[in-house]
């Protein structure tokens, strides 16, 4: 199994439980590893036969910019559901960060894995 990834995708959204957070847009940062088979695309030199990371990015940007979330955990689960249901991905690892949320920390967030984990993943 192969991994297609997106690293440090930054998106502005409404996220947080405090009243002041509900009135501003904050940056969230996404790292996404997605298990897929790239061999058909490589053999045919055809983007239609692979997982298009630009299409995934555009879908997530559109969704996250329009939605509002109380918890980063909720956002993570919804991102995973979109990717697994709309793209040829059997497993994913998502790191979702909220930079600046904790004074003194560069970033805080969650890491989740969803889907059927392949027996063999490339080392990254």
Rounded Cα distance, 46 and 119, in Å:
27
CB within 8 A of 33, min separation 6: which ones?
Answer: 3, 4, 5, 92, 93, 94, 124
From first CA to last CA, the distance across the chain in angstroms is 13
Catalytic residues, which ones? 98
CB within 8 A of 9, min separation 6: which ones?
Answer: 29, 30, 31, 32, 57, 60, 61
């Amino acid at each position: 199994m192969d991994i297609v990834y997106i690293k440090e995708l930054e998106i502005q959204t409404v996220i947080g439980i405090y009243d002041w957070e509900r009135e501003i847009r904050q940056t969230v940062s996404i790292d996404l590893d997605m298990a897929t088979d790239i061999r058909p695309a490589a053999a045919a030199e055809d983007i239609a036969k692979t997982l298009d990371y630009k299409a995934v990015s555009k879908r997530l940007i559109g969704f996250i910019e329009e939605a509002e979330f109380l918890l980063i955990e909720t956002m993570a689960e919804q991102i995973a559901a979109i990717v697994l249901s709309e793209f040829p991905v059997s497993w994913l690892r998502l790191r979702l960060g909220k930079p600046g949320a904790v004074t003194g920390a560069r970033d805080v967030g969650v890491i989740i894995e969803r889907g059927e984990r392949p027996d063999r993943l490339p080392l990254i």
